[in-house]
Amino acid sequence: MAPQTEILIVEDEMAIAEGLIDLCEMNGYKVKHAADGETGLAEALTGKYSLVLLDLMLPGLDGFTVCDRIREKDKNLPIIILSAKNSDEDIINGLKYGADDYVAKPFSVPMLLARISAVLRRSRQTLEGDGKLVAGNLRVNFREYAGVRGTEPLQFTRKEVEILEYLWKNRDRAVSRAELLREVWGYENAESVDTRTVDIHITKLRKKIEDEPSHPQLLVTFRGEGYQFCTTPE
CATH code, 17: 3.40.50.2300
Question: Mind giving me the DSSP string for 37-77?
Answer: HHHHHHHHTTS--SEEEE-SS-SSS-HHHHHHHHHHH-SSS
**Between β-strands 146-149 and 152-155, what pairing exists: parallel, antiparallel or unpaired?**
antiparallel
Domain boundary residue, one of 95, 123, 151: 123
Which tens digit of pLDDT belongs to each residue from 16-71? 999 999 999 999 999 999 999 999 999 999 999 999 999 999 999 999 999 999 99
Q: Is residue 152 part of a domain?
A: yes
C-alpha span between 63 and 79 (Å, rounded) = 11
Whether pTM exceeds 0.85: no
Let me know whether 75 and 22 are in one domain.
Answer: yes
Let me know whether 44 and 137 are in one domain.
Answer: no
3-state secondary structure of 89: helix
Per the structure, the count of domains in the chain is 2
Q: Please tell me whether the peptide bond between 106 and the residue prior to it is cis, using omega within 30 degrees of 0.
A: yes
Let me know whether 98 and 195 are in one domain.
Answer: no
3-state secondary structure of 5: coil
Report the pLDDT value the prediction gives residue 181, as an integer from 0 to 100. 87
Let me know whether 152 and 210 are in one domain.
Answer: yes
CATH code, 218: 1.10.10.10
Residues of the chain with pLDDT under 70: 1-3, 124-130, 190-194, 232-234
Report the pLDDT value the prediction gives residue 1, as an integer from 0 to 100. 42
- Dihedral sign of CA atoms 194, 195, 199, 201 in order: negative
Q: Is residue 10 part of a domain?
A: yes
Let me know whether 78 and 138 are in one domain.
Answer: no
The domain in which residue 63 lies consists of: 6-123
Domain boundary residue, one of 123, 154, 180: 123
Check: CB of residue 99 under 8 Å from CB of residue 81.
Answer: yes
